[in-house]
Structure 1
Amino acid sequence: MSKNIVPCVVGSTGLVGSHIINNLSTIYPKVCSITRKKVNYSSSVVKNTVIDFDDIKNEDIFSADNHLYIALGTTRKKAGSDQNFIKVDYNYCIDLAKNAFESGVKRISIISSVGSNPNSNLLYPRTKGLIERDLKKIPFEHVSIMKPGLILGNRQESRFIEKVSKYFFSLLNPFLIGSLHKYKSIHAENISKAMIYQVSMGDNGFVLLEYNEIMESSKK
C-alpha cells in the first residue's frame, strides 16, 4: 500500500462514507473528502474539497495519485422526484468516475445494491444496475462494486421504515441461506473495510461483491 496515494471519498457524511473516511484516516497521511458544502472534520488528515456536483465534468478534482471511493446515495422520497434520484444516484456517480479516469485515477470502488438490474421496471434496482453497466465501460485498472442488502449502522437521519426493516432483518438473517444469503443485512463498517481492501490490495479488473465477498474482504 503506497503512502503516496491520496484516497478521495465522495459521500463522506453518509453512513458508509463516514466509516470509509474514519478508516482511511488511520492508514494514510492525507485523505480527501469531496462534498457539495464545506464540512469540518475532527481529523487533521482529512482535507475537504468543495465542488459543484451539477458541473462535475468541468471541475478540476482528481490527480493520478488518487484512489476514489464513491458512497453517494439518496432515497426517492428525499430526492423529491425520479429525475432528482437518478441525478444523484446515477449522473453524479458516473460523472465523477469519468472525471477521475480522465485525470489518471486507476482504482475506484462504489456502493450499489443487491438485486441491481439495468432492465428492472423498478427505479432503485434499475438505477443501480445502470451504474454497474456503465462503470464497466470505463477502463479503470480496478473497479470494485459493493452489492449489499440492508445496510446497518447509526444514521444521522432517522428513517422509521429502515428501523423497522433492521429489526425485521435481524430476525430474518439466520434463515437467509443458500441463494438467499446475498440478501443478509450488513454493517456499514464491513462495507467500508471491504472497499478499502479492494481498492488498495484487490486484483485488477471489474469485481462485484455481494454479502459473502464483502464480509471476506472486510476481514483481510
Structure 2
Amino acid sequence: MIKIALISGTSGLVGMQLLHQLLKSNQYDFILSIGRRKLALKHDRLIQLEGDLFKLASWDWENKVSAESLSGQYAPVLDSIKSKTAEIHAFSSLGTTIKVAGSKEKFYAIDHDLVIGFAAWAKRLGASKFLYVSAMGADSNSSIFYNKVKGETEEDLKAFQFEYLGLFRPSLLLGNRHEFRFGELVASALMKPLNWFKIAKNIRPIHDYQVAKAMAITALSDSSKSVEVISSGQMQDLSK
C-alpha cells in the first residue's frame, strides 16, 4: 500500500522542520505539500502544489499533480488516491499572528478557516490521520482571542471524525523565524532558564524541530485514542 503525507504550512517554522522529518524518515512514498507558493526544494518524493488556499476545495489537484509528473512518476499517487487504496496522513502547521495578518478577522481566516478547509480536503482525499499544531493555551471558551481561535479550530477538527486526530500544543516555539517577533524574543530570553535547569517541561520553550519530530513519530505510531492532545512536555519526550 502506498503511504502519502499531505502537509500544509511548509514555509513556516514547524512546517519546514516537519517536511525535513518526513523526507528523512523514508516512511512515506510521496509527500504532497500544499501552499501559496513552492519552496526552493527538490526531492523525488516531494510534490509541491501551489495556489490560493482559500480556494483549495475547487483546486483541480489531479491536473496539478500531473503537471509536476512530466515522466509519469507520480501516476501511482493519482491512482492510489482515486482508488482509495492509499494510506494518507495529513499534517497542518498553518498559523500566523494578528500583527502579521493585519486584523483579528484575517487572523481567524488563516488560523481557523484555512486549517478547516485543508482538513476537509484531506478527508475527501481519504486521509485517516490528521495532525495539527495548535497552542498550549488552546480553549474555545478562552477570553484570550488567540487561544480561543486555536480552541475553536480543535473543536471543529473533531467534527471530521478522522480515525486519529492529534492536537499538538507546544509552548513558546524556538527557531529561526522569517519575521521578527519582539514579544517572543523577550519571552524566550526570560524562559530559557527553565530549559537550562530542565524544569516546568510543559511550559518551557520547545524547539521547532522537536515539535516536528514528535508529529512524525506520532503519525507512524498506533494509538488507541481517536483524539489525542499532545502536550509540550510529551513532545520533548518523544523527540529525545
Normalized against structure 1, the TM-score is what? 0.89
Q: Counterpart of 2:216 in 1: which secondary structure?
A: helix
What stretches of structure 1 of length at least 5 have no aligned partner?
none
Q: Does 1:207 align with 2:228?
A: yes
Moved more, 208-217 or 14-23: 208-217
Moved more, 199-208 or 79-88: 199-208
Q: Does 1:159 align with 2:181?
A: yes
What amino acid does structure 2 have at the position aligned with 1:140? F
Match of 2:68 in 1: none
Contact 2:12–2:93, Cα closer than 8 Å, also in 1: yes
Give the CA deviation at 1:166.
1.3
Distance 1:117 1:173 in 2: 26
Match of 1:90 in 2: 112
Match of 1:58 in 2: 58
Give the CA deviation at 1:14.
0.7
What amino acid does structure 2 have at the position aligned with 1:14? G
Q: How does 1:125-144 map to 2 (within 5 A)?
A: 125-144=147-166
Distance 1:44 1:71 in 2: 23
Match of 1:68 in 2: 90
Contact 1:176–1:183, Cα closer than 8 Å, also in 2: no
Q: Does 1:103 align with 2:125?
A: yes
Percent identity (aligned): 29
What stretches of structure 2 of length at least 5 have no aligned partner?
63-80
Contact 1:181–1:211, Cα closer than 8 Å, also in 2: yes
Q: Counterpart of 2:179 in 1: which secondary structure?
A: coil
Q: Does 1:32 align with 2:28?
A: no
Q: Does 1:17 align with 2:15?
A: yes
How many residues are treated as equivalent by the alignment? Answer: 215
Contact 2:97–2:107, Cα closer than 8 Å, also in 1: yes
Moved more, 99-108 or 109-118: 99-108
What amino acid does structure 1 have at the position aligned with 2:232? Y
Distance 1:175 1:130 in 2: 34
Distance 2:38 2:170 in 1: 29
Match of 2:238 in 1: 217
Give the CA deviation at 1:171.
2.1
Aligned with residue 194 of structure 1, among 214, 227, 230: 214
Distance 2:236 2:173 in 1: 13
Normalized against structure 2, the TM-score is what? 0.82
Q: Does 1:147 align with 2:162?
A: no
RMSD between superposed Cα atoms in Å: 2.0
Distance 2:7 2:233 in 1: 24
Distance 1:171 1:5 in 2: 41
Q: Which is greater in Rg?
A: 2
Q: Does 1:43 align with 2:43?
A: yes
Distance 1:199 1:165 in 2: 30
Distance 2:20 2:135 in 1: 22
Change (3 A) 1:202 1:153: farther
